[in-house]
Amino acid sequence: MNNEAVLQAGAATLHVAGDHGEAHHHHKQSFITKYIFSQDHKTIGKQFLITGIIWALIGGFMSVLFRLQLGFPDTSFPWLSTVIGHWAKDGHITAEAYYSLTTIHGTVMIFFVLTGGLSGTFANFLIPLQIGARDMASPLMNMLSYWFFFTASVIMLSSFFVETGPFAGGWTAYPPLSALGDASPGSKTGMDLWLASLILFVVSQLLAGLNYISTVLNMRTKGMSMMRMPLSTWGVFLQAVLGVLSFPVLFAGFILLIFDRHFGTSFYLSDIYIQGVGALPHEGGNAILYQHLFWFLGHPEVYIVILPAMGIVSEVMSTNGRKPIFGYSAMVMSMFAIVVLAFLVWAHHMFVTGMNPFLGSIFVLLTLLIAVPSAIKVFNWLTTLWKGNLRFTPGMLFAIGFVSVFISGGLTGIYTGNSAIDIHIHDTYFIIAHFHLVMGVAAFFGMFCGVYHWFPKMYGRHMNNTLGYIHFWVTLVGAYLIFWPMHYEGLAGMPRRYYDYSSWESFKQFVELNRFISICVIITFAAQFLFLFNFFHSIFKGRKLTVKNPWKSNALEWTTPINVGHGNWPGEIPEVHRWPYDYSKDGHDFIPQTVPVGEEDNPLYTSAEFTGIKVEEEPAKAHTKAHA
């Protein structure tokens, strides 16, 4: 019996008495098994989302703290001593604290928020619903992937409470700062906790990735061919392929780093001298080896972050543009091209390591080549919007904002990908501006887009649109005001990761600009509390959903009940007959995937009940009637 048959048999048991049987099944579950150690993919997706939101707030607050130092280096903030204790002496953040904040900010934003929070949320929540499966291929592995992620989060957070503080050697953890405990206070226990946390994070991602791939390949419902899947599913599927192939390399790099730190090996160390300690016995190692291992994951990681956002934006844009996505096959093929090329460009992060210039030119070519599939996607998004009947929901605005910042940040990649230019701008604020726009802000916009769009399916309620619009505009304008000026600082040679620029005659011209950027950071961070309030308030007090398909979407997830139980569909899983982007076709606003080809005008398939736009009774009343 295959996996689909097993799960369908299990689901049939759950739903043997229809909705009443489902309700009866859930009555047997305790709070712990239903909401904490849940094996329901939808609950696990929400766990990833809420954990990611918490980490985003922590990481964002860190950026506010170190931007205070950069924008107001001569100003004392006495309240800082109250908030972060000895990290702020006399109201000034210490240099060691500054480097710890920048390091952990980068680590948690890239791994815990934009990898775990983004793909963990939408891969878990959407894959079974959009391909027509009862759950993931292995619900137990799915649950374990979250708890490995949660444990990694706890360990990372605990590094703030050790005496020597968290790791302070940069989020890339280059040796020798990461390989020698004596290098700095932040290289001691905090570094060990950083390594332990990220090793568990990698385990989480491998468990999740294998599960996502297995589910998509083996558990699609009848009629759901690969080329009928929504692009949002393609995005999370292909990022899982990237993760499964690249995370083991980072894992190996971390293991070698642990050996260098604690077992006297010299994989990354050679000819090291520490003041006050003397020459170390390490010989024959090479710190560049670590960079190769790190960036072999590090560059695919960019696409692990951005591919789910690309898929989400494509789905939301087509749904709210009331147009078929332009060039579906080209969109899928461009994602495939990105997956392949992502493994061939890692050394463009290493142009200044003494690389052979001929080898550098090969990586320049491959780097510029990967811009082609990204450009295809941008062209297709713009063409999808062209002459569409656009609905400017908050989700749609964030989808359009994603395209804007992806173009802006992507264009600067042409400069950074060219070795002759990159040697000048490497490790300057130009790099910070580039990757924060193209990966950071763009991925956050994809995440916000998905949350606003699928919130009604997650919680059976609507978010507040007015707060969503304010959140979008402040975030979009704020992101550009923060990161666009940094390009000019970088072109002037202003290096990143410096604690205080005020004594540099060369960069005194940027004192006011740095202050302006810091003020924009504070305002933009404050605007995220609008989203936070909107999200958590709407879970309990938002306007209740009264139709199954509020966006008049074609995808399968909107054929499930308003309050989806474990197993997703109370009866049989629907059969799929077409792709998910038949909008504004043959006189029909939308044609769900479950409508047979040629039956578009059949009253059975155009009824409000079948298309999910029939107003339903409040779930509580329906539940009471069912028991009566």
Residue 257 CA to residue 178 CA, distance in Å, equals: 8
Sequence letter at residue 601: D
- Predicted pLDDT of residue 615: 84
Give the DSSP letter of residue 388.
-
Alpha-carbon distance values, 195 to 357, 497, 556 (Å): 33, 21, 41
Residue 533 CA to residue 506 CA, distance in Å, equals: 43
Percentage, residues of the chain above pLDDT 70: 94
Residue 95 CA to residue 184 CA, distance in Å, equals: 11
Bridge partners, 583 (sequence order) = 590
Residue 40 CA to residue 50 CA, distance in Å, equals: 16
> 602: left (phi > 0), else alpha (psi -120 to 50), else beta?
beta
Task: Report residue 461 as tokens.
Answer: 């309620």
Give the DSSP letter of residue 86.
G
The answer, yes or no, to whether residue 12 has pLDDT greater than 70, is no
Q: What is the dihedral of CA 110, 115, 116, 118, to 10 degrees?
A: 110
Give the DSSP letter of residue 45.
H
Residue 213 CA to residue 355 CA, distance in Å, equals: 36
For all residues of the chain together, what is the average pLDDT?
A: 91
Percentage, residues of the chain above pLDDT 90: 82
Residue 601 CA to residue 31 CA, distance in Å, equals: 46
- The pLDDT tens digits for 122-147 are 999 999 999 999 999 999 999 999 99
Residue 336 CA to residue 323 CA, distance in Å, equals: 24
Q: Which CB contacts under 8 angstroms, 24+ apart, belong to 82-87?
A: 87/165
Mean pLDDT calculated for residue range 475-494: 96
Rg of the chain over Cα atoms, rounded to whole angstroms, equals 25
3-state secondary structure 143-201: HHHHHHHHHHHHHHHHHHHCCCCECCCCCCCCCCCCCCCCCCHHHCHHHHHHHHHHHHH
- The pLDDT tens digits for 33-42 are 888 899 999 9
* Domains of the chain and any CATH numbers: 3-541 (1.20.210.10), 556-627 (no CATH)
The reported pTM is: 0.92
Least confidently predicted of 436-440, 473-477, 513-517, 612-616 = 612-616
Whether the CB-CB separation of 369 and 409 falls below 8 Å is answered with no
The answer, yes or no, to whether residue 112 has pLDDT greater than 60, is yes
Residue where the block lists tokens 């690969």: 226
Whether the CB-CB separation of 543 and 461 falls below 8 Å is answered with yes
